[in-house]
């Protein structure tokens, strides 16, 4: 067993020698570049297994070259040499020197990287350590750099800003960018290099008239008089800041609260509650519900109102369709999920409109059939006129075809009535249309299963009227909710539809449900900090899509 003390010699940044000691033991001590070597020399000029130190038969320590490699020992090449105090061995750029024994060690030797020692010494001699050694004047150097900085970053940008109209070629020079305090917002990057687009005077704040050159309708409240009263002393840049890159241009929690924390001060007639923060005092959500008697056909109702419901003219039970045991379908009992009917639109905000053809008939669960059914010929789902026209056309053609074949003596189980074949055929067709009409508009398997149907006895062409289905697609016109960003949650976690038996149920989550995950401006572990802009559309911006949803 060899007990060895290895001394590694390096140089610090000041060129001083640093010795680091390490104890190594083993039957043999391998030297090389491989990771398993006890003495690791990380240099490409060293073999993976370059040499080994071992005891000889005479009990003395020897160093041997591996794989036929000769070693440069004491200024001569040898493959096998005595490794005793004073012996010097060169392996690549490393120099091994055996030192006298101490502290009862079997072997003590040092390793130094000869290239690094020479390089550090050469650097110390070649490069001066002080400015005075370079023969440069501190004062002259400082003044020169000061003038360069003043020219590049003060005078040239100033000249470019003042002379841009006379010398348009200067707009292609980068000098104005030196004064850019931050990255422009996305909407302003197309002219971001032309500072005078917004900064119309040197060393002057951006004026509102500069904003109005592009933004022609700056009103944030539809009521002009109210807008002028609320924002009369407010400049655009008081809220809309730039040169902040991806960061929001406005600190919306603060900006919105500056008015809404004391809304009566801004508008004494306002019925809105004061709001400081979403987690502190945000009122209950207000829903927009269709009401034919109200102005514009809609009314605003607080979600705290227990009478909130939707009279859409549709009969539908989510409880039946979401039964955990499944619902009867052509494929057998099928367990349905919300996404089977509700598909997100391309924007990931709301859902695509539902239709009988795409949502109910396509799956084979629901259909409108002739009585008795006609193979591969369902009735169309649409207006009453379209339905009655289809029935009349089909049975009239069928009766005429039977008349040509002389088989119109009977109409089903009843004999035909009429003076001639054509009259009997028409009476037969009318009889079958009436049978189908009564089955569709009166039986539970017909239209009344999903619709409100009203009889029109004075209208022989269309004896029944189906109430128009009017479903609200967006309940909060002044808010936006990206459903795509909440796809990790199940629909029923927010919308309690499992126990909803009627389509009039409005199963929207209340504010308490949102506050389980979202907080306002403060930071809270496990919750998301949300700004006002995350849900609200700022004053005066018309949500055309929401308006259309109400009008549909």
HEC-encoded secondary structure of 418-487: CCCHHHHHHHHHHHHHHHHHHHHHHCCCCHHHCECEEECCCCCCCCEEECCCCCCCCCCCCECCCHHHHC
Query: What confidence score (pLDDT) does residue 491 get?
Result: 92
The residue from 103, 126, 149 where one domain ends is 126
Number of helical (H) and strand (E) elements in the chain, helices listed first: 14, 22
Do 288 and 383 have their domain in common? no
Do 447 and 547 have their domain in common? no
Do 422 and 480 have their domain in common? no
Residue 499 within a domain: yes
| Tokens linked to 334 | 């099928």
Give the total number of structural domains in the chain.
3
> What CATH code is carried by the domain that includes residue 22?
2.60.200.20
Distance of CA 130 to the CA centre of its chain: 54
CB-facing half-sphere around the CA of 68: CA atoms within 13 A: 0
Q: How far is the C-alpha of 198 from the C-alpha of 219, rounded, in Å?
A: 19
Strand, helix or coil for residue 234: coil
Please state the φ and ψ torsions of residue 342, each to the nearest 5 degrees: -95, 110
Do 110 and 76 have their domain in common? yes
pLDDT, tens digit, for every residue of 373-427?
888 888 888 888 999 999 999 988 888 887 777 655 556 555 566 566 777 778 8
Q: What is the pLDDT along the chain (552 residues), one digit of tens a residue?
A: 888 999 999 888 777 888 899 999 999 999 999 999 999 998 888 999 999 999 998 889 999 998 878 899 998 998 889 999 999 999 989 999 999 877 778 899 999 988 754 444 444 455 556 676 677 788 888 999 999 999 888 887 777 666 655 555 565 666 666 677 778 887 787 776 677 788 877 777 888 888 888 887 666 777 778 888 888 878 888 878 788 776 554 455 677 888 888 888 888 888 888 998 888 889 999 898 887 777 777 888 888 887 788 888 899 999 999 999 888 887 888 899 998 889 998 888 888 988 888 888 877 788 888 888 888 888 888 888 999 999 999 988 888 887 777 655 556 555 566 566 777 778 888 888 988 998 888 888 788 889 989 988 888 888 889 988 888 888 888 788 889 989 889 999 999 899 999 988 988 999 999 999 999 887 888 898 888 878 887 765 444 333 333 333
- Tell whether pTM > 0.85: no
How many beta carbons lie within 10 A of that of residue 387, not counting itself? Answer: 22
Task: Please say whether the beta carbons of 111 and 63 come within 8 A.
Answer: no
Three-state secondary structure along 367-422? Answer: CCCCCCCCCCCCCCCCCHHHHHHHHHHHHHHHHHHHHHCCCCCEECCEECCCCCHH
Do 448 and 485 have their domain in common? no
Structural domain for 483, as ranges: 252-315+471-551
Q: At what angle do helices 421-442 and 384-404 cross, to 10 degrees?
A: 150
Do 22 and 70 have their domain in common? yes
Do 455 and 475 have their domain in common? no
Do 416 and 493 have their domain in common? no
Closest CA to 470 of 503, 508, 509: 503
Closest CA to 463 of 481, 450, 479, 447: 447
Longest alpha-carbon distance in the chain: 140
Do 449 and 529 have their domain in common? no
Do 449 and 480 have their domain in common? no
Do 440 and 526 have their domain in common? no
Concatenated DSSP letters of 50-110: -EEEEE-TTS-EEEEESTT--EEETTEEESEEE--TT-EEEETTEEEEEEPP-TT-SEEEE
């Amino acid at each position: 067993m060899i007990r060895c003390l290895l001394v590694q010699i390096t140089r610090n940044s000041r060129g001083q020698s640093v010795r680091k000691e390490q104890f190594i033991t083993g039957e043999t001590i391998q030297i090389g570049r491989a990771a398993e070597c006890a003495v690791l020399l990380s240099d490409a000029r060293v073999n993976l297994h370059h040499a080994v130190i071992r005891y000889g038969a005479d009990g003395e320590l020897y160093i041997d070259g591996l794989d036929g490699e000769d070693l440069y020992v004491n200024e001569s090449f040898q493959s096998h040499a005595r490794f005793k105090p004073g012996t010097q061995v060169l392996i690549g750029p490393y120099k091994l020197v055996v030192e006298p024994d101490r502290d009862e060690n079997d072997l003590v030797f040092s390793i130094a990287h000869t290239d690094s020692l020479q390089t550090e010494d050469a650097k110390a001699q070649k490069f001066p350590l002080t400015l005075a050694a370079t023969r440069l004047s501190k004062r002259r150097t400082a003044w020169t750099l000061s003038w360069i900085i003043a020219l590049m970053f003060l005078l040239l940008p100033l000249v470019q800003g003042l002379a841009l109209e006379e010398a348009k070629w200067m707009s292609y020079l980068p000098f104005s960018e030196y004064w850019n305090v931050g990255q422009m917002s996305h909407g302003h990057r197309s002219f971001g290099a032309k500072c005078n687009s917004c900064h119309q005077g040197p060393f002057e704040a951006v004026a509102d008239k500069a904003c109005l050159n592009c933004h022609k309708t700056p009103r944030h409240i539809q009521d002009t008089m109210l807008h002028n009263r609320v924002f009369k002393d407010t400049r655009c840049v008081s809220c809309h800041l730039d040169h902040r890159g991806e960061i929001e241009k406005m600190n919306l929690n603060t900006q919105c609260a500056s008015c809404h924390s004391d809304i009566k001060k801004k508008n004494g007639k306002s019925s809105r509650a004061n709001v400081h923060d979403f987690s502190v005092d945000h009122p209950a959500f207000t829903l927009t519900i269709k009401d034919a008697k109200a102005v514009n056909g809609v009314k605003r109702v607080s979600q705290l109102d227990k009478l909130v419901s939707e009279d859409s003219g549709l009969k539908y039970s989510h409880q039946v369709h979401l039964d955990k045991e499944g619902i009867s379908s052509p494929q057998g009992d099928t367990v349905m999920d919300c996404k089977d009917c509700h598909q997100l639109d391309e924007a990931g905000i709301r859902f695509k409109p539902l239709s009988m053809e795409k949502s109910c008939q396509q799956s084979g669960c629901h259909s409108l059939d002739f009585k008795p059914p006609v193979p591969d010929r369902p009735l169309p789902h649409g207006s009453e006129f379209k339905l009655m026209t289809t029935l009349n056309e089909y049975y009239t053609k069928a009766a005429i075809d039977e008349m040509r074949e002389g088989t119109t003596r009977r109409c089903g189980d009843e004999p035909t009535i009429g003076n001639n074949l054509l009259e009997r055929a028409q009476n037969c067709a009318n009889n079958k249309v009436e049978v189908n009409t009564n089955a569709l508009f009166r039986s539970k398997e017909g239209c009344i299963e999903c619709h409100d149907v009203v009889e029109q006895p004075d209208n022989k062409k269309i004896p029944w009227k189906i109430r128009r289905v009017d479903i609200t697609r967006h309940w909060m016109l002044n808010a936006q909710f990206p459903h795509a960003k909440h796809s990790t949650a199940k629909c029923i976690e927010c919308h309690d539809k499992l126990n909803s038996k009627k389509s009039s149920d409005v199963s929207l989550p209340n504010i308490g449900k949102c506050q389980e995950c979202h907080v306002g401006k403060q930071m809270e572990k496990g919750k998301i900090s949300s700004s006002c802009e995350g849900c609200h559309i700022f004053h005066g911006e018309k949500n055309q899509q929401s308006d259309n949803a109400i009008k549909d």
